[in-house]
Structure 1
Amino acid sequence: MKFKYSLILGLALLNVQVFAQKWTKPSTTTSNYPATVARPKLVVGLVIDQMRWDYLYRFYDRYSKGGFKRLINDGFSAENTFIPYTPTYTACGHTSIYTGSVPAINGIIGNNWYDPELGRDVYCSEDRDVKTVGSSTRAGEMSPKNMLVTTIGDELRLATNFRSKVIGISQKDRGSILPAGHSANAAYWYDGGTGDWITSTYYMQTLPTWVSDYNKKKVANDFYAKNWNTLYPISTYIQSTADDKPYEGKFKGESTSAFPHKLTDAIGKNYDLIRSTPYGNTMTFDLSKIAIKEEKLGQTGNTDFLAISCSSTDYVGHQFGPNSIEIEDTYLRLDKDLEDFFNYLDKTLGKGNYLFFLSADHAVAHVPGFMKENKLPGGLVSNSKLRKGIDSIMVNQFKLQKSVITVMNNEVYFDHSVIDEKKANFAEIKQATVNYLRKQESIADAVDLQIMNTSTIPEEIRKRITNGYNARRSGDIYFILKPNWFDGGETGTTHGAWYPYDSHIPLVFMGWKVKPGKTNQTHYMTDIAATLAAMLHIQMPSGSVGSPITELTHQ
């Protein structure tokens, strides 16, 4: 019996050894694993300043096959993409797209803001420790130092041990600097005082030869020589209002807002004027193509990143409004610029070798005059008058002089030192301010930012205000304007509200690993950086709160 059990045990041990040898024996088959991490040659981010989502379809019938139509039909469109914070301004939008973050975290709470710690107004990309490179003006005293988090470009640089190149290009300094990030190789922006593209000593000590050579051409003069008339017969612009409207802004020296717009008088003089014409976008694309060529972007074996922002759409939109013939013509010309740029990318890098996305930093409100003309709600508010009203309450009710520092970005900033010195009850001061604001015709509601969770405002609005509130940079009271009300003049328009007309933006990906299609699932501006990080297999930016849009990629 003992022998029988020993035999059974011996056979069992033999089977275990055979099993172990079978599974530990090295495989002789060839691995199908990729040798390297798959990434595109180049990532191109294009932010269209002030582009409403509906512009993708409003002018669709007039777009060429190779521009917006190609993007929409060959790419993947997240049709229901929103900005998840307020205020919806340029600097905030560019920052949030590339950081996947919100102003509460990234610190860029406006184009300008009052900084309580510094005791002065701050411009989003100002840097008094750097100098202009490329001109003799102060337009280059800029850097990304006010941005508190990394961008997707920074993370790409980190992931490749800084072999990847990252460059930002925009007419606006904030449109190139903030997207490019802290570790960017370069950011270039336009100096309207000289007609030159410039940078700062944050990036380099001298301009590259290719930028200097482009500046020598003073190409703005060539565009001015063409003047600005409609691309097609003006009678075909059926998606716009009549040409000359009293609520549209005029160019200096013109008696009406109607076409044609004479630009020849600006030759050699007013280089800033090109920003307010579609030619500013064309110039931006021209410089971007030169950058790809001269910097060999996407052509060195590393994944590079080019962040472009077209700013002329914003300038034209502010002056004439979203229903003007000027804005329709600007987008029809932008469509041709886009087609030309896609063709250049195809020729230089090859279809499918680059990843492209288009979005906007914000959208825009209809002009109040247009709204009134068409029996739609809207109007104007004066921040200066609101401040005077609050000042009056502070003096009459609380005996406080000069206690209101400013009213900006829909926020009221109080001078805490004045209030502390008088030992006034700050809670009562804020409640009195909220009560006053709620009585104004233009205002829907107002909240104390310190106790916002106790306010009876809709949760969606609460979240957006919270996402826009930075504890060290924001004010004390936030007021919510009624739909299509804003601080402005009798002509033109602006943006900044949480409402869909300001916060519903386009988001379309095209190219490398992107499958054509659409989704009407709700996504947010902050999802862009997270999506890029997932596709590139790199870490998302340090302040990212977004989620990848997984449905746009091939499995």
Structure 2
Amino acid sequence: MNFFIKSILLFFTVYISSCKPNTPKQISKNQKPKLVVGIVVDQMRYDYLTRFEDKYGEGGFKRLIREGFSLENAHFNYIPTYTAVGHTSVYTGTTPDHHGIIGNHWYDKFEKKMIYCVDDNNYKTIGNDSKGGKKSPYRMLTTTVTDQLRLAQNMMGKTIGIGIKDRSAILPAGHTANAAYWFDGGSKGQWISSSFYLDKLPDWVIEFNASEKADEYLKQPWETLYDINSYTESIQDDNNFEQVFKGENKPIFPHDIPNLRGQNNNYSIIKAIPAGNSFTTDFAKAAIIGEELGKGEFTDFLALSYSSTDYVGHQFGVDSKEIQDTYLRFDKDLESLLLFLDERIGQDNYTVFLTADHAAVQVPNYLKSVKIPANYLSADKFSDYVNQITKKYFNSDDFVENISNLQIFLKKETIEKKKLTVDHVAKTIAENAVLYQGIYKALTAKEVLNGSFKKGILNNLKNGYNQKLSGDILLVPNPSTIIYPKKGSTHGSGYSYDTHVPIIFYGNGILKGSSKKAYKITDIAPTISNLLRIEFPNGTNGEIIEEVLK
């Protein structure tokens, strides 16, 4: 009888429990990362990961690839591939036709002058008496993932942008950042900011500037990290394809930085050597401590850019001993940063993505030396050629207002006074410009705007064309054909050597693995937004990379 009664009671207990409404599962506050660190490596080709792989340590690039998710076929999908455009596209999830940053410098057809992407005379320098801080992100027309995180958290949580270059710190940090910091070289040697963000530097920045860390790095010559004879992945050290520092006779190791700094703009030389990346890492660590990033209730964001890789690449080229040494040293900086994040934030509490703002072409003269087609264009000679076209067909050599960034801006009023149409003049110039040696394609703005290009170089051209800001004729040079000095590397095209870059996700919320599928650089922002469960940046046309997310 007792057994029967117990059974009845048990039945009713289970039945009553099953009738209760489901109670929601407790959601851990730690599901989202406490800190997101976005790392953009200036001018990093994808093949730097594979080319130098055997000489990297286990704790830098290899750790990110081993424990994170690497996209092996990621590309920029627009032209031009420049620093400001790259950083903006990574963080906005869209291309120049939408976000409005169409170059580092570009011709403003309204103001009739060249402008710089982040110059803003409405603000003043915070940190010293130079003009280096008169900057803001106001020319960027869309929001960034960093803006959206601030908005989603009711302006709680912090966003800090850091980069030796001003544009590399400002544009990723967005419009709502708590601060952005960049390095003022020359005789100053200080990290500064703009009154757009701050009224004064925080104590931790003042202390860092007073620590004379830059001087410590500049007391050492630049020697190779390992035996130079082991650098078999790069061409011989003494060659004719590299620029020298002022005061040097040959572009070879060791580079006597203590004695060269005086002839190379003093503190600015740190930008052009691997120590600039170490110096940036030191400052990033100081920012994490000083701002207590990753320690609050809300998710913080550190937008971190490494630019010395770009300076070295421009000067010495992508096949040089210098670029190899720079990446081997940067690998150690990356390891140091990750270990610091482990200790300070906790391994499960942060998310990192690492990518580049563009890649770079191999030095054309080097390519020519091994019988690969490559060449140089003269901007002055091409300008003369365009004037010859308008003189021949329209009896005027006064139709061109500006030629820059492989775009031609026409004098519309002058053309219309001649009772000609801008479309007709532009089409005539384009048809003849493509006949110029080294020019592969020339399209009018109208052809670009109305064209339907699903992929390839013309699709990249269209994505980079901003109807309001861009020129009237757009030019595409032959592969490995550049407007640049005949020593050193550059970038800017829509070819694979400029568009193929790493994208690696790592940490909280990220799966382990790799993919050979094609992805766009504009997919980073929506993917991070989805991870953080926030709205996408307001111009985004990228897509979530589902296979990287848990």
After TM superposition, list the pairs within 5 Å mapping 1:502-521 onto structure 2. 502-521=498-517
Change (3 A) 1:425 1:30: closer
SS of the residue 2:475 aligns to: strand
Deviation of the 1:35 alpha carbon: 6.0
The answer to whether the Cα contact below 8 Å between 1:185 and 1:203 also exists between their aligned partners in 2 is yes
Change (3 A) 1:226 1:71: same
Deviation of the 1:139 alpha carbon: 1.1
Tell me how far apart the structure 1 counterparts of residues 491 and 30 of structure 2 sit (CA, whole Å): 41
Summarize deviations over 1:193-238 as a string: whole Å, max 9, x none: 2111110110011111111111123322211111101011110000
**Structure 2 stretches of 5 or more lacking a match?**
1-14
After TM superposition, list the pairs within 5 Å mapping 1:6-17 onto structure 2. none
Is 1:484–2:480 an aligned residue pair? yes
Change (3 A) 1:453 1:152: closer
Change (3 A) 1:484 1:551: same
The answer to whether the Cα contact below 8 Å between 2:32 and 2:509 also exists between their aligned partners in 1 is no
Residue 389 of structure 2 corresponds to: 393
Is 1:80–2:73 an aligned residue pair? yes
Match of 1:215 among 209, 212, 221: 209
Letter in 1 for 2:366: F
Deviation of the 1:395 alpha carbon: 2.9
The answer to whether the Cα contact below 8 Å between 2:246 and 2:260 also exists between their aligned partners in 1 is no
The answer to whether the Cα contact below 8 Å between 1:221 and 1:267 also exists between their aligned partners in 2 is no
SS of the residue 1:238 aligns to: coil
Deviation of the 1:90 alpha carbon: 0.5
Letter in 1 for 2:321: I
Deviation of the 1:403 alpha carbon: 2.1
Letter in 1 for 2:375: G
The answer to whether the Cα contact below 8 Å between 2:529 and 2:535 also exists between their aligned partners in 1 is yes
SS of the residue 2:456 aligns to: helix
Tell me how far apart the structure 1 counterparts of residues 111 and 539 of structure 2 sit (CA, whole Å): 23
The answer to whether the Cα contact below 8 Å between 2:449 and 2:462 also exists between their aligned partners in 1 is no
After TM superposition, list the pairs within 5 Å mapping 1:345-360 onto structure 2. 345-360=341-356
Residue 103 of structure 2 corresponds to: 110
Match of 2:297 among 293, 297, 301: 301
Summarize deviations over 1:66-89 as a string: whole Å, max 9, x none: 011101111101111110111111
Is 1:46–2:39 an aligned residue pair? yes
Residue 496 of structure 1 corresponds to: 492
Match of 2:158 among 153, 165, 168: 165
Summarize deviations over 1:404-454 as a string: whole Å, max 9, x none: 122111111111122122222323311221122111121111111212367
SS of the residue 2:409 aligns to: strand
Deviation of the 1:31 alpha carbon: 3.1
Deviation of the 1:52 alpha carbon: 0.2
Tell me how far apart the structure 1 counterparts of residues 545 and 256 of structure 2 sit (CA, whole Å): 45
Tell me how far apart the structure 1 counterparts of residues 195 and 82 of structure 2 sit (CA, whole Å): 27
Which moves more between the two structures, 350-359 or 413-422?
A: 413-422
Aligned residues between the structures: 533
Letter in 1 for 2:294: G
Deviation of the 1:28 alpha carbon: 6.0
The answer to whether the Cα contact below 8 Å between 2:237 and 2:320 also exists between their aligned partners in 1 is yes
Tell me how far apart the structure 2 counterparts of residues 452 and 206 of structure 1 sit (CA, whole Å): 46
Tell me how far apart the structure 1 counterparts of residues 292 and 19 of structure 2 sit (CA, whole Å): 43
Deviation of the 1:266 alpha carbon: 4.7
Residue 529 of structure 2 corresponds to: 533
Letter in 2 for 1:203: Y
SS of the residue 2:251 aligns to: coil
Change (3 A) 1:35 1:492: closer
Deviation of the 1:352 alpha carbon: 1.7
Change (3 A) 1:248 1:97: same
Letter in 2 for 1:265: N
Is 1:71–2:67 an aligned residue pair? no
Q: TM-score, normalised by structure 2?
A: 0.94
Letter in 1 for 2:357: D
Residue 289 of structure 1 corresponds to: 285
Summarize deviations over 1:31-83 as a string: whole Å, max 9, x none: 32426583101000000000001111110110010011101111101111110
Tell me how far apart the structure 2 counterparts of residues 59 and 170 of structure 1 sit (CA, whole Å): 24
Tell me how far apart the structure 2 counterparts of residues 455 and 393 of structure 1 sit (CA, whole Å): 25
The answer to whether the Cα contact below 8 Å between 1:134 and 1:197 also exists between their aligned partners in 2 is yes
Tell me how far apart the structure 1 counterparts of residues 252 and 18 of structure 2 sit (CA, whole Å): 81
**Structure 1 stretches of 5 or more lacking a match?**
1-21
Larger Rg: 1
After TM superposition, list the pairs within 5 Å mapping 1:14-53 onto structure 2. 27=20, 30-34=23-27, 38-53=31-46
Which moves more between the two structures, 58-67 or 438-447?
A: 438-447
The answer to whether the Cα contact below 8 Å between 2:241 and 2:366 also exists between their aligned partners in 1 is yes
Tell me how far apart the structure 2 counterparts of residues 432 and 106 of structure 1 sit (CA, whole Å): 30
Match of 1:377 among 373, 380, 392: 373
The answer to whether the Cα contact below 8 Å between 1:117 and 1:472 also exists between their aligned partners in 2 is no
Change (3 A) 1:400 1:228: same
Deviation of the 1:119 alpha carbon: 2.0
Deviation of the 1:30 alpha carbon: 4.5
Tell me how far apart the structure 1 counterparts of residues 455 and 521 of structure 2 sit (CA, whole Å): 19
Is 1:524–2:520 an aligned residue pair? yes
SS of the residue 1:506 aligns to: strand
Summarize deviations over 1:276-313 as a string: whole Å, max 9, x none: 10000001010000000010000012100000000000
Residue 270 of structure 1 corresponds to: 266
Percent identity reads 43
The answer to whether the Cα contact below 8 Å between 1:531 and 1:549 also exists between their aligned partners in 2 is yes
Change (3 A) 1:28 1:436: closer
Letter in 2 for 1:91: A
Residue 12 of structure 2 corresponds to: none
